[in-house]
Amino acid sequence: MATGGTGGHIYPAVATARELQRRGYEVTLLGQLGGMEERVAQDSGLAFHGVVAGKFARSASGLDPRQALRAARGLAQARSFLNRTRPGVVVGYGGFASLPGVLAAQSLGIPTVLHEQNARLGLTQRLALRRARAVGTAYPDVAGLPAGRGTLVGMPVREEWLLRQEATQRLGLQEGPLTVFVMGGSQGSVALNSAVPGVLREVLGEAGLSPDDGVQVLHSTGPRWLSDVLPEVQNLGWYKAVGYVDSVAAWSAADLAITRAGTGTLAEAAFYGVPVVMVPLPSSAEDHQRFNARAVEAAGAGRLVEQEAMSRSLGSVVLECLKKETRASMREAALRRSPQGAASRLADLAESHFRS
């Protein structure tokens, strides 16, 4: 599993790895030495091999020579590892940290399968596309992917859930009120952390929606930003801010979520049937988060709010989505997008190209 960088690339690799392990395969995560993927692999009990990785610049000045050198070193390290272990297949999940493993495999004649999580084909996947045996996708249509090259498998997620009572108990929340889950990705979002508490304090307060009246908020700020958010919400009994949250419990308890628009987050929302108010990251690579959000909105499972419009329109969108009829309709649409079984389908695709 060649992966790394962000949770959106790492967690589907972990989900697929577990499925392949259940089928009797040995699986190793190959990613950036010291990256988030190394910690996740250790926490998940998966073998990990780290290499250096050069990050591609997306500016007119091109790739920093130092990053080019790192990329070359990482490719050589990955090639040495793969030449020694000779895996049957390498699955690449996108992101700069996945590229050494995928390109090294292709240089050695090892079959490669790509998984594209977004509604637009990413740069690293484009670089590996020509020699890839297959491409699994999370969306029916992927901009930049030639017709006939993709196989829809969905976005592999951790397929576990809790009863609401257990989920709210784990999180220290009340069971009865509607729960709004705010989450800006695995590392948190400064923009959401800055804007959402004030917006929700204003609109929910004006609407009289305290926990006694039916609403509470769980906000995962990212560990780095918790101290910035706590002063804003510490006097609000219905607003709980935490640095990191058990995602299974949080999604199991949530009735509505305010998130970025990474595919991993949106796939989890769909699996749990949670409507989403999406604020795409404006600087996401090739604007892929906006493509993702538009696809979810078109399916009826979420609403898109531009980052620059949060102060003007986020509150009214949240209030609309909290209405019983709207939530019910969006929940049904979300469940129709559920990625349940995606890890198994991607494992099937990888197996079909396995070199014995």
pLDDT in tens, 106-117: 999 999 999 998
Calculate mean pLDDT across residues 35-49: 94
Please give the Cα distance from 259 to 239 (Å, whole number).
16
pLDDT given for residue 57 in this prediction:
53
Give the range among 51-55, 91-95, 206-210, 338-342 with minimum mean pLDDT.
206-210
**Per residue in 263-302, pLDDT tens?**
889 999 999 999 999 999 998 877 889 988 999 999 999 9
Give the range among 22-31, 207-216, 244-253, 256-265 with minimum mean pLDDT.
207-216
Any idea which residue has 């409507």 for tokens? Answer: 275
Q: Extract the annotated binding site for UDP-N-acetyl-alpha-D-glucosamine.
A: 6-8, 118, 158, 186, 289
pLDDT given for residue 194 in this prediction:
95
Please give the Cα distance from 347 to 16 (Å, whole number).
6
Share of the chain above pLDDT 90, in %: 76
Q: Nearest to residue 115, comparing CAs of 42, 85, 133, 78?
A: 133
pLDDT of 355 > 60? The answer is yes
pLDDT of 199 > 90? The answer is yes
Q: Extract the annotated binding site.
A: 6-8, 118, 158, 186, 289
What sign does the CA torsion over 307, 265, 339, 250 have?
negative
**Per residue in 294-328, pLDDT tens?**
999 999 999 999 999 999 999 999 999 999 999 99
Whole-number average pLDDT of the chain: 92
pLDDT of 207 > 70? The answer is no
pLDDT of 197 > 90? The answer is yes
Comparing 355 with 200, which gets the higher pLDDT?
200
The 90-92 sheet, strands edge to edge: 90-92, 112-116, 134-137, 150-152
Calculate mean pLDDT across residues 117-143: 92
pLDDT band at 210 (very low <50, low <70, confident <90, very high): low
pLDDT of 60 > 50? The answer is no
pLDDT given for residue 232 in this prediction:
92
